Amino acid sequence: MINDVFMADIDECLTPNICPASLSCINKEGSHECRCSKGEFYDVVKNQCVDVDECAEGTSLCDHTCINLPKSYRCECDKGYKLADDRHACIDIDECEDSTLNTCGQECRNTPGGFECGCGAGDQRVRRDGQVGRHLWPSRPLQEPVPGLRVRV
């Protein structure tokens, strides 16, 4: 019969400095383990935990830009896109949904990463601000170039 008293686990982690600096102590049944934090790895040469550069390793899976951080990383999106709830994917901002995000005087068409402004065939005035919008399209096909069509950029 096993004597529970002799089988009792000792929590080695209660011993001060049982693990080298920057390593966390994990108590295990009959032993213990010194481990680096999540997002770090043990560098044998430096004898310490160092940050994993998820961006350089290509493990970040960011849609656009990866920013390496201590023990972590973060994803950023190009202009005209916003970070999705999963904090990795980038989704297009619909500038036409919010009039403060587009500079169209008349019609607005959402495009991936930007928006386009257009005007009716009968209207020759089109406002366009090059900030995010890229192109100009006639909202109705023009049969031929309209004389005197002026585009203000």
User: Rule CB under 5 A: which residues touch Ca ion?
Assistant: 51, 68, 73, 92, 110
As measured in angstroms, the least distance from the Cβ of 108 to Ca ion is 10
Residue nearer to Ca ion on the CB measure, 34 or 55: 55
How many Å apart are CA 69 and CA 53, to the nearest integer? Answer: 8
Q: In 10 A of CB 42, how many CB atoms?
A: 15
CB of 60 to Ca ion, least distance (A): 9
- Residue with smaller CB distance to Ca ion, 32 or 95: 95
Q: Which is nearer to Ca ion, 27 or 110 (CB)?
A: 110
- CB 80, min distance to Ca ion, A: 5
In a 13 Å sphere around the CA of 130, the CA atoms on its Cβ side amount to 3
Q: How far is the CB of 84 from Ca ion (least distance, A)?
A: 14
51/107 with CB nearer Ca ion = 51
Q: Which is nearer to Ca ion, 33 or 94 (CB)?
A: 94
CB of 67 to Ca ion, least distance (A): 9
